[in-house]
Amino acid sequence: MHPHPQGDVRLGPDPSVHPTADVRDSSLGHYTEVLEDCLMLESTLGDYAYLSSGCDVAYADIGRFASVASNVRIGPTNHPMWRPSQHHFTYRSARYGFGPDDDAVFEWRRSQRTRVGCDVWIGHGAVVSKDVPPYAIVGGVPARMIRERFPAPVRQRLLRLAWWDWPHDYLNKALPDFRELDIEAFLDKYGGAAL
């Protein structure tokens, strides 16, 4: 891990961490970035993922390519008032999961142990209290489905393709197509077989 340089950042195999970020007992993947004023405690950040400024992440596993916007809290304390004790030993036994290529928009929190599918968009101020399927857009308190990002056949093709698991060299070669092709053309070119 190297300190985040001032000015423009060109990401590389070593994680880039801003000097004001506090990363403790955590694992950061290749081509990752943690911006200013973030706190990351006993968590993992998958390859190519980033945390924007002011994030608070505790006891979470964040997948590859996840885009976490400013001031997002993942894994905040939810004291279990129904248990004999509210001490953290009663709720730190499980980790939060955050799928590949997720996009957390502004401040949101999980109210309990939930799974968030890949490439989910979570709205500002949302409280995620139940599992969210892949390619969903959710928001509100509690979070509810706003809409699916793609029709079911496209979602299934993307999940089979699993481009987030591609090696770096292959991703680099495909980068122009990520930027220029629409979703159907991209899937046709890279083998997301039609149903």
Give catalytic residue positions: 79
**Radius of gyration from C-alpha coordinates of the chain:** 17
Helices 168-180 and 183-190, axial angle in degrees (round to 10):
150
Using alpha carbons only, what angle is made at residue 162 by residues 55 and 25, rounded to the nearest 5 degrees? 35
Cα–Cα distance for residue pair 23/166, rounded to 1 Å = 27
Contact 22, 54 (CB under 8 A): no
CA 15 to centroid of chain Cα atoms: 16
